[in-house]
Structure 1
């Protein structure tokens, strides 16, 4: 539970620094003063947004939609898609959209979190204002620089620091609630309803800022596989939810007791000896929240690679005992560049808040849609029940989404642009790989015909084992055909090896390998890996020994096809997308390293393909 507090709730736990401030500013006509009814109305909306979205939707239902213990957008997509016989392409596209929106959220979270915490120094002394952005950049660059060392050493302190953070903001809020207990009237949902109906125009804008209080809720599901449902639920009800409510109510009581003036209530209500420790603790909490998002991005990217919606990337394991502790250099530094650009470009957390929210609301809406398919097709709920619950969640999600759309011009375009770029890359890779598969299959010979031909006129055989990797086990691999064409020999044992990504996160060793003997010359081997696992062919081959296939790795050669792609005038994609796919293919990580094959045992045979 302590680990869940540190990793899962880091993002939503830092929302009080800016969420209430932005919601009050949106509800005020002049941006500096608010009425008592506005404070109560905004607080009521925050309370019930946390209750409906986090407590009911995510804690009550989404966390139950685990894919063999794993969570996250692509995990939910794989679960929903597995219920369709033909693996619905529409569900795949919905999952890709959700993944793209997650990336849009992932780059803004570190920027707005750390920037809002450092801005607390302005409350200490206004002369610090010119140093806010530079110090934020130093913290962020340092954070991205240490990623290559792994998170194991720092993860052990995440939980205690974040727990201290929640207790501090809870006590801070409680102190001001005691001064004005009337603020608890905001628990009444009628206060929020009155606020919405009295000034619909202002309320519509305010809802977009209120949503900042629930950003980070999607992390509950994304990190399900790391902690399990029970610790996440216990942490929410025993620590996180009560402390968040205490702090939000405390900020409201503080504003009411200071002539309803809007400044930076989170830090201003801690003036005195508590201010500097709170600024330091807030900075530590925001760094932890950023770390959780960065780690989540690595995990999502690995899932995307395994599900073949992104090209192979260099994935480095930073722990000998924890398979989930990974580092992706290309993803890390791409994130770093974009986050730094956002901090420099926007310059203040208030301006970044306008860019925040759109991608998160879209992500939550897509979660609701995929959850409907799980409820109906996996859980076998009656249609009326699935539709009713989906309608409730979708109404809330759409309300927040429409209110956040107003932010597009003020900065929301940034997260949508990032999400759009990711979706473009993923759809291009999916379309391109399918097209490449169709083109290469036309030029391939069915494996059964080749086996029949070689059995009638067998070529000379040399000692050892040859393993030919292919994505289509029904056809003779290109490397095999070229090997026969140029060398005119076969090995004593010839294995057609296919690596398959299963729709579940992990595959037990008992289901890892399937062996099928074709004849005396050939055998077909299929290796199954979950989409959360890093493929390791040599390790999986060791399982084959238990199933009767005896081999020596030192007399085994692995034959891989290396395709050189070039644009084709008859491509099924636009020419620009064709070139983008070729560029993506060229940047893919080396198959030898990706499958962890000993480099000294690999033979690569190149072919040229027009796509």
Structure 2
């Protein structure tokens, strides 16, 4: 059995492979439109609930000039500091060969901090950020779809009883279509979101024209006045204000799909202005209508008779936002599998022309179950926002911690430049996270609980793999000793035998078992290890490392990037330095399937050993994961104590 192991790519390796994302062929406007449709769905649907929750949520505010101007000012400066400066300007520069996201960033910095005593802490932070992302993937579809469909109760109060069942049906439909792929409907994402942003910007302008004084809220001194006159409520309000910047991490995670510049252009010149116009329009509405507008300031912006069309547009935008998060969960899962934090899972391609469009059934149905449970349990977008904030702010705070390593170790910034900037980010992100901790009892416990469960699963699998490989190495016979003793003594038969092994040292267990039971060796024997490097792609020229061990034995290492999918037969077909060409009908693949026995040996607690053993038993077959021909595979079992 083969398990992938992460290692840095060779120095100077050219990773610009045909499979790597290339954005140069597409014009900037096209990429920017695509980014609007995919990247900004989460943050774009925040106006549905963020402004309302700040006033009518768990820590209510008085609807007066001080609080209205203060909240609008806080939203604007939060977008400027967190989204524009922290993510769009700085963090998006920390790309891993064009790829972004917590795991890509973790892979990027892992090679630089291996000698530092707190490197393990950095890895654990990155893994916990990934765990929180899964919590966000559960909450986002629930809160966005509910927030959009609740407009039905505003437009037609008599239909309020349909909000929950209709939301459930939309969510079920959204997850059911995942197996069909989103290539065709994805073409409409950009235009639909473009229409959505134009509509909410126009509604904001229509409201601002009636109350132009709201424009003064862009001044930071209104946020300062809010904290000066009402410090406790201003601090608590941060827990809801941060909902306006949820999805900021998606800009970084989706960078590989569109590139840095299209996302920056879309944000600076279109999405940010549209969002702020709408938030200021909602603020202006509160000035005019007061408390009654808090039922739904987003939908109250619409003129009479336009509420239902706005519900349809907002629901479409909510579905797109949810789709982006679900696809992101699939991509993150694939990265986690390749980097050794998750067992192998069945991955299906929904588009033969696009490698990035994948579908993972287990993740899809688990997410659907959790989203429906959240909708049934919390029953409204207002209740769900309490659970929403902690996952987002926790991930932001972790990204800031990882940014410390990026600025100092990767970019070599001097302390005089790095410390003030990091101090601002830690102050802002820490304040948001602390404010959201006050909502733990109201629902914030859910993402923390989900995060810790997923974190335990990820770290248990990673640690278990390390222990299993270490135990296998302990009893491994040196390959040179084996060749000298067995190469001439055993009967050689025609053909090629490929023995898959997780470690490039020693004799694979499958080879020892095959010789013991069948008492023959093939003429050509390949000891094959598949490794996943800390880069998204590996060039074909760097794919294969081959070593001749004499007497027909060869050691082969195949390297893949952490977002590539290993295909062993294709890789072997491209090897021309190992005697005759590889023919699948003359090649047998030998896999070792370990049965783990929990023991009291130092390593992990018994319950974690049993959890790891259960995950190993239920992992996807190495035969399918590495695309081996089913009629050419032989599995040999063994027992192992960890």
- 1:259, CA displacement in angstroms? 3.2
Distance in 1 (CA, whole Å) between partners of 2:241 and 2:480 is 63
Query: Equivalent of 2:437, from 405, 413, 418?
Result: 405
- 1:438, CA displacement in angstroms? 1.7
> Residue 165 of structure 2 aligns with which residue?
134
Q: TM-score, normalised by structure 1?
A: 0.97
The reply on whether 1:50 has 2:82 as its aligned counterpart is no
Query: Equivalent of 2:467, from 435, 449, 464?
Result: 435
- 1:297, CA displacement in angstroms? 0.4
Distance in 1 (CA, whole Å) between partners of 2:326 and 2:297 is 29
Equivalences for residues 88-237 of structure 1 within 5 A: 88-237=119-268
Query: Equivalent of 2:599, from 561, 568, 593?
Result: 568
Distance in 2 (CA, whole Å) between partners of 1:510 and 1:365 is 39
Distance in 1 (CA, whole Å) between partners of 2:43 and 2:539 is 34
1:463 to 1:353, Cα distance in 2 relative to 1, 3 A: same
- 1:387, CA displacement in angstroms? 2.7
1:182 to 1:571, Cα distance in 2 relative to 1, 3 A: same
Query: Equivalent of 2:390, from 358, 363, 376?
Result: 358
Distance in 2 (CA, whole Å) between partners of 1:548 and 1:251 is 72
Q: Which moved more, 1:585-594 or 1:549-558?
A: 549-558
1:546 to 1:276, Cα distance in 2 relative to 1, 3 A: farther
> Residue 378 of structure 2 aligns with which residue?
346
> Residue 401 of structure 2 aligns with which residue?
369
Q: Which moved more, 1:550-559 or 1:296-305?
A: 550-559
The answer as to whether partners of 1:80 and 1:91 remain within 8 angstroms in 2 is no
> Residue 559 of structure 2 aligns with which residue?
528
Query: Equivalent of 2:338, from 283, 292, 306?
Result: 306
User: The residue matched to 1:558 in structure 2 has which SS?
Assistant: strand
- 1:384, CA displacement in angstroms? 3.2
1:450 to 1:546, Cα distance in 2 relative to 1, 3 A: closer
> Residue 67 of structure 2 aligns with which residue?
38
The answer as to whether partners of 1:26 and 1:202 remain within 8 angstroms in 2 is no
Q: Which moved more, 1:265-274 or 1:361-370?
A: 265-274
Residues 49-106 of structure 1, C-alpha deviation per residue, up to 9 Å, x if partnerless?
0000000011100111000010011000111112134593322211111101111111
1:547 to 1:477, Cα distance in 2 relative to 1, 3 A: closer
Distance in 2 (CA, whole Å) between partners of 1:551 and 1:28 is 68
Query: Equivalent of 1:594, from 625, 629, 634?
Result: 625
The answer as to whether partners of 2:44 and 2:275 remain within 8 angstroms in 1 is yes
1:459 to 1:546, Cα distance in 2 relative to 1, 3 A: closer
User: The residue matched to 1:526 in structure 2 has which SS?
Assistant: strand
Distance in 1 (CA, whole Å) between partners of 2:484 and 2:114 is 32
User: The residue matched to 2:373 in structure 1 has which SS?
Assistant: helix
- 1:545, CA displacement in angstroms? 2.4
Distance in 1 (CA, whole Å) between partners of 2:72 and 2:291 is 14
The reply on whether 1:422 has 2:454 as its aligned counterpart is yes
The answer as to whether partners of 1:513 and 1:543 remain within 8 angstroms in 2 is no
> Residue 83 of structure 1 aligns with which residue?
112
The answer as to whether partners of 2:86 and 2:425 remain within 8 angstroms in 1 is yes
- 1:260, CA displacement in angstroms? 4.8
> Residue 274 of structure 1 aligns with which residue?
306
Residues 398-452 of structure 1, C-alpha deviation per residue, up to 9 Å, x if partnerless?
0100000001000000111111111010111112111111222222112222123
> Residue 545 of structure 2 aligns with which residue?
514
User: The residue matched to 2:563 in structure 1 has which SS?
Assistant: coil
- 1:489, CA displacement in angstroms? 1.2
Equivalences for residues 256-267 of structure 1 within 5 A: 256-261=287-292, 262-267=294-299
Distance in 2 (CA, whole Å) between partners of 1:423 and 1:319 is 31
Distance in 2 (CA, whole Å) between partners of 1:550 and 1:27 is 68
1:435 to 1:27, Cα distance in 2 relative to 1, 3 A: closer
Distance in 2 (CA, whole Å) between partners of 1:325 and 1:462 is 43
Distance in 1 (CA, whole Å) between partners of 2:76 and 2:114 is 42
The answer as to whether partners of 1:79 and 1:374 remain within 8 angstroms in 2 is no
Q: Which moved more, 1:580-589 or 1:212-221?
A: 580-589
The answer as to whether partners of 1:4 and 1:227 remain within 8 angstroms in 2 is yes
Distance in 1 (CA, whole Å) between partners of 2:581 and 2:620 is 30
Distance in 2 (CA, whole Å) between partners of 1:410 and 1:251 is 26
User: The residue matched to 1:608 in structure 2 has which SS?
Assistant: strand
The answer as to whether partners of 1:28 and 1:34 remain within 8 angstroms in 2 is no
1:367 to 1:548, Cα distance in 2 relative to 1, 3 A: farther
Distance in 2 (CA, whole Å) between partners of 1:193 and 1:572 is 52
> Residue 242 of structure 1 aligns with which residue?
273
Distance in 1 (CA, whole Å) between partners of 2:524 and 2:342 is 33
Q: TM-score, normalised by structure 2?
A: 0.93
User: The residue matched to 1:561 in structure 2 has which SS?
Assistant: strand
User: The residue matched to 1:357 in structure 2 has which SS?
Assistant: helix
Distance in 1 (CA, whole Å) between partners of 2:582 and 2:253 is 40
User: The residue matched to 1:569 in structure 2 has which SS?
Assistant: coil
> Residue 4 of structure 2 aligns with which residue?
none
> Residue 384 of structure 1 aligns with which residue?
416
Query: Equivalent of 2:90, from 46, 53, 61?
Result: 61
Gapped regions of structure 1 (runs ≥ 5): none
Distance in 2 (CA, whole Å) between partners of 1:274 and 1:145 is 31
Query: Equivalent of 1:289, from 313, 321, 325?
Result: 321
The answer as to whether partners of 2:57 and 2:382 remain within 8 angstroms in 1 is no
Of structures 1 and 2, the one with the larger relative CO (CA 8 A, separation 6+) is: 2
- 1:570, CA displacement in angstroms? 2.8
The answer as to whether partners of 2:102 and 2:129 remain within 8 angstroms in 1 is yes
- 1:548, CA displacement in angstroms? 6.1
User: The residue matched to 2:588 in structure 1 has which SS?
Assistant: strand
User: The residue matched to 2:495 in structure 1 has which SS?
Assistant: strand
The answer as to whether partners of 2:573 and 2:581 remain within 8 angstroms in 1 is no
1:471 to 1:418, Cα distance in 2 relative to 1, 3 A: same
Residues 247-301 of structure 1, C-alpha deviation per residue, up to 9 Å, x if partnerless?
0000011110113542211001214132111100000000000000000000000
Distance in 2 (CA, whole Å) between partners of 1:85 and 1:572 is 21
